[in-house]
Structure 1
Amino acid sequence: MHIEIDGRPVPDESLRTPALDNYGHFTAMQVRDGRVRGLGLHLARLDSSTRELFGAGLDGVRVRELIRHALDGAGVRDASTRVYVYWPDGDGTATVMVTVRPPAVMPDAPQSLMSVPYERPVPHIKHLGGFAQVYYGKAAVRAGFDNALLTGPGGVIAEGAVTNIAFWDGTSVVWPDAPALPGITMGLVEPRLPSVRRRVTLGSLSAYRAVFVSNSQGIAPVRRIDDTEFAVDTDLMRTVAGVYDSTPWDEI
């Protein structure tokens, strides 16, 4: 096989798998001073997804060594880091690719979301090939929103294009009871908040006082979903941020 990019041959054979094969999975994390929140959840996600997709587990010790190696190679201690897992045909073990980029944080400004009629396939796995998420996310930005909100038949809300979403009814933090990726940040804060799972639809938005989203970059309030406006509940956001900020950092 011969591969060129912009007329230049790809020099490294190992790059061909991630370039051509979108059957795999990944996890994304923010690293600060060589540490990450919820490292155990990241490693569990990688192991369980590798078992489901490829029939064998992934050693967490190996993953940590590879992340450390990539951070050392980049000469940084703070980064946005992703761990991708593939399993090339005929290979006896998983191929793990680690990317290191500058650190990122969730934008401070309250988010606006445009609902779109799309549910991710196999949503419990953070898998590759999320074309529709990118497509709808860009469409939302072109329409004047910050990102897309994924919904199913009947306007059932599942998740954001790249976030989990939660609703505040004045008593409980309501996480949509619909197929969605269980995000790491969600996994850290949900057990420590007055949380419930409930079916949430576009038609029931008026029942909620406030909304927020979460992903590996942090937590942010939502000010609008389609034409429905929400006030930013500063007390709620202070509580959620306090729970998240108090989560310990784990050494990689």
Structure 2
Amino acid sequence: MWFFVILLVVVVGLALWAVSLYNGFIRSRNLIQESWRQIDVELNRRYDLIPNLVETVRAYAAHERNTLENITKLRNQAASLAQTSQGGASAERAEVEEQLSGAVRQLMVSVEAYPDLKSNINFLELQKELTATEDRIAAGRRFYNANVRNYNTQVESFPSVLIANTFHFEKATYFEVNDQAVRQAPKVTFGEISDRPEATSEPTTAQLTAASDAALPNPQAYDQSQFGQPGQFGTPAQPAEQPIFTQPPSQPPTLNPPPAQ
């Protein structure tokens, strides 16, 4: 009798535990969908603002034609991906949206060379709305990715992975950049310093002493016959090729050298 009671309690406990895990997956998935809807609203708002921005800049900055065409192309591509994925998140859409954000930032920097455009009321209003939209997109992306991380952790962790596999809970997609060229950090070099080999070890005291002694001159190693007599007022000795004193004509120099000792 007690065996069946204990078995029943164990079965009921496992059932409650499975239901709790299942409900946790449902809550996490709904939270992800809700956080993504907030991002999707801001992305669609940016789709509506960009054409007005392009037309306003085109009227004042005709030289920015390539930048405007690139922004228009990326905007249309992102809107097409949004319709294809039915407003959902995907790695391809995240990459296009990141490129679109970079193109808009580049355009905002380029218009600094056009004072008339910077003072235009319509442009200032569009710039303000786009800046606020970009900030909300960035905040929504951080919130969305945090929810995706928690959900994916539940999907891959044990024993919740058993419930995930049973009810086909798939991993969610992050809204981030997957292009390695964008993520790659710039290489900083400092001329020839980067080409020098690194020192393998610190120099010892004996090596420093030997290098110091080798750098000092040795007075005994010089041939003093190559130098002349010191000049007046403590001037240094001059080489033999430039003698300081010349002998008078009445005393010719000795032609025969003295015999060797």
How does the TM-score come out when normalised to structure 1? 0.20
Relative to its length, the structure with more helix (as a share) is 2
Relative to its length, the structure with more strand (as a share) is 1
